[in-house]
Amino acid sequence: MTFPDLPSPISEALAERGYAELTPVQVAVAEPAARGRDLIVSAQTGSGKTVAFGLAMAQDLLAEGAPLPSAGAPLALVIAPTRELALQVSRELGWLYAKAGARIATCVGGMDPSRERRTLAQGAHIVVGTPGRLRDHLERGALDLSSIAFVVLDEADEMLDMGFRDDLEEILDATAEGRRTLLFSATMPKPIMALARRYQRDALRISMVDDHRGHGDISYQAVTVSPADIENAVINLLRFHEAETAMLFCATRDNVRHLHAALVERGFAAVALSGEHSQNERNHALQALRDGRARVCVATDVAARGIDVATLSLVIHVEIPRDAEVLQHRSGRTGRAGRKGVAVLIVPYPRRRRVESMLRGARIAAEWVDVPTPELIRARDQERLIATLMEPIEADEDERQLAERLLEQKDAAEIALALVRAHRKALPDPEELIDLSARDGDARQANAHHRAGFDDVVWFRMDIGRRHNADPRWILPLLCRRGHITRNEIGAIRIGASETFFQVPRAIGAKFRSALQRTAREGAEDESGIRIEPSEAPGETTRANARRSNDSGDRERGHDAPPRHEARPHRGKPPKAGPRGHRPRPLGKGPRG
């Protein structure tokens, strides 16, 4: 099919590429009303934006079929937030402008800057790059922007989020006054509009995003879990969906490292992307995803900027995004170019209201579902196996001979059983999760006399008490570190003279004891030397004796059970020192990126 309204080199390139029709955003930028004007385009990632701004530039660069002049100072500049996205844009423009004879130079971090400078010196029609590298070439005099007719800011909101405002402003200030500025962004926050007002003139606003709902090709789901079950929920979601490629988002690089190691240990083919990885490591990880050697990518928000993997159909928000824009950016990695995708938010039950508010603000109708159970996952495994076996088989002679040999030695039922067993052995086992079915909507607002989730508890005892300055402010984080649980999974704390008792839900009791054993060091002077062991619940009579002992000034009895002290997570500053000179450290902190 040809596109008569477009310059012939572009029309021929589209036809050879197999384009039957243009996407909505491509049609919009090619309309007569958009020609010659600055543009502000709101469109989801994967909607064909790169070809869209290629078409918008072509109508002027190749006006009336005139060929491109000899390559010299660049005529168009495309700025993208990440190396991966810049290289992708360069490849797309490469085939789109191939018949027009365009020379395209790419300037990105991680590549040889001296080679890029030589390429620029030889001349280019279009330059594609990242803000930092382009600014470096500009300041060194290698990038001449005096002839620029077009500047395209691709994923402009992400560039501002990543702190490139100063770089962008210096580059835009160096361009010619009469240039057209095309601003493409999935969202339009206030900083983007401020940038548009400063550098655009009478810009035409084109929106391909429905303001009343989220991305139409993404199905949003949310699951409520116990805070201790987040990792198990990830495993069950991966096993249930069995996506060709899945991306998991964490808030910090430490959490990326931990989750990646846990998934690899369980048998998932996973890679990690965070700020601690070099460009070479990023390239290997992305290539593993693209060629199918890896199926799961664990990443931070910053590290995942600009990543485009065609087979990505599942996004899991392992940690809740900080706001609705981050939610949409993360989720936009899937559901691209007409393909369907699923985005799942894992929500610790104390934070459900916050997530519900975020979803309302983003006008996203998420379906609240249960985490898939092992039984449901195994049923899906059976369906997938049967569907695979029902597909037509084209076997060669060697395969047929082997099949006949097997049938001579075993009957069909035994061979089928061996096949099922081999199939299951290759799959990671699903996990059992804490049952939250008893928690109704009002349970999250439990009053001071009852904490939902603590109907069935087990008690533990620590060999420290008031004599050791025991205080909930440092006991809570100590228990979280030693037992690998969260504050929300610690119930009543009762501090005595020389010992402390506390509750955890029975459902996580065995997991908690196992973690305590792994983190204990007999005789150590830090928190690992504190003895924590299962205990009977402190009785009312013992507590009464303890109160009488305390009232009479008897401070020497070492095993009086303490008066009841219901501890709640303390949000103030921790004390300077805990037991045995240990200085507590805050939880949940780690470098971002």
- The beta strand positions in 59-178, using DSSP E, are 76-79, 104-107, 126-129, 150-153
Q: What is the pLDDT of residue 546?
A: 44
**Residues forming beta bridges with residue 341, ordered by sequence position:** 218
User: Higher pLDDT residue, 324 or 149?
Assistant: 149
Q: Name the pLDDT band for 236 (thresholds 50, 70, 90).
A: very high
What span, in angstroms and rounded, lies between the C-alpha atoms of 51 and 47? 9
User: Which residue type occupies 535?
Assistant: S
**pLDDT surpassing 60 at residue 35:** yes
**pLDDT surpassing 50 at residue 231:** yes
Find, among 352, 510, 491, the residue nearest to 432 by Cα.
510
Q: Name the pLDDT band for 544 (thresholds 50, 70, 90).
A: very low
Q: Which of 108-117, 129-138, 210-219, 515-524 has the lowest mean pLDDT?
A: 210-219
Write the CB contacts of 189 (distance below 8 Å, at least 6 apart in sequence): 157, 160, 325
User: Higher pLDDT residue, 307 or 62?
Assistant: 62
Q: What is the pLDDT of residue 208?
A: 76
* CATH dotted code for 218-373: 3.40.50.300
User: Higher pLDDT residue, 65 or 181?
Assistant: 181
What span, in angstroms and rounded, lies between the C-alpha atoms of 180 and 265? 52
Average pLDDT over residues 145-169: 87
What span, in angstroms and rounded, lies between the C-alpha atoms of 186 and 311? 21
**pLDDT surpassing 90 at residue 234:** yes
What span, in angstroms and rounded, lies between the C-alpha atoms of 268 and 298? 11
For residues 444 and 352, is the Cβ–Cβ distance under 8 A?
Answer: yes
Q: Exposed e or buried b for every residue in 478-517, given b needs 16+ CB within 10 A? A: bbbbbbbbbbbbbbbbbbbbbbbbbbbbebbbebbbebbe
**pLDDT surpassing 90 at residue 131:** yes
Find, among 534, 520, 515, 454, the residue nearest to 488 by Cα.
454
CB neighbourhood size of 200 (10 A): 19
At 100 the three-state DSSP class reads helix
**pLDDT surpassing 80 at residue 338:** no
Q: What is the pLDDT of residue 437?
A: 53
Find, among 226, 80, 84, 82, the residue nearest to 151 by Cα.
80
Q: What is the mean pLDDT of the chain?
A: 81
Q: What is the pLDDT of residue 147?
A: 92
Q: Name the pLDDT band for 269 (thresholds 50, 70, 90).
A: very high
Average pLDDT over residues 118-125: 94
- pLDDT (tens digit, 9 = 90+) per residue, 69-91? 888 999 999 999 888 889 889 99
Percent of the chain with pLDDT strictly greater than 90 = 34
Q: Name the pLDDT band for 302 (thresholds 50, 70, 90).
A: confident
- The beta strand positions in 49-107, using DSSP E, are 76-79, 104-107
Average pLDDT over residues 449-474: 79
Q: What is the pLDDT of residue 448?
A: 36
CB neighbourhood size of 298 (10 A): 31
Q: How far does Cα 58 stand from its chain's mean position?
A: 36
- pLDDT (tens digit, 9 = 90+) per residue, 379-430? 999 888 888 888 777 778 888 888 888 888 888 888 888 888 888 777 888 8
User: Higher pLDDT residue, 370 or 433?
Assistant: 370
User: Higher pLDDT residue, 308 or 14?
Assistant: 14
Q: Write out 304-340 in H/E/C secondary structure.
A: CCCCCCCCEEEEEECCCCCCHHHHHHHHCCCCCCCCC
CB neighbourhood size of 124 (10 A): 23
**Residues forming beta bridges with residue 461, ordered by sequence position:** 501, 533
What span, in angstroms and rounded, lies between the C-alpha atoms of 56 and 36? 9
**Residues forming beta bridges with residue 140, ordered by sequence position:** none
**pLDDT surpassing 90 at residue 276:** no
What is the fold of 8-207?
A: Rossmann fold (3.40.50)
Q: Name the pLDDT band for 128 (thresholds 50, 70, 90).
A: very high
Average pLDDT over residues 569-578: 39
Q: What is the pLDDT of residue 435?
A: 65
Q: Name the pLDDT band for 209 (thresholds 50, 70, 90).
A: low
What span, in angstroms and rounded, lies between the C-alpha atoms of 334 and 246? 9
Check the CA dihedral 355-506-530-462 and report its sign. positive
Q: Exposed e or buried b for every residue in 228-239, given b needs 16+ CB within 10 A? A: bbbbbbbbbbbb
How much of the chain is helix, strand and coil, in % rounded to 5? 45, 15, 40
Average pLDDT over residues 2-14: 84
**pLDDT surpassing 70 at residue 329:** yes
Average pLDDT over residues 11-27: 88
Q: How many residues does the chain have?
A: 593
Classify 580 in phi/psi space as left (phi over 0), alpha (psi -120 to 50) or beta: left
**pLDDT surpassing 80 at residue 559:** no
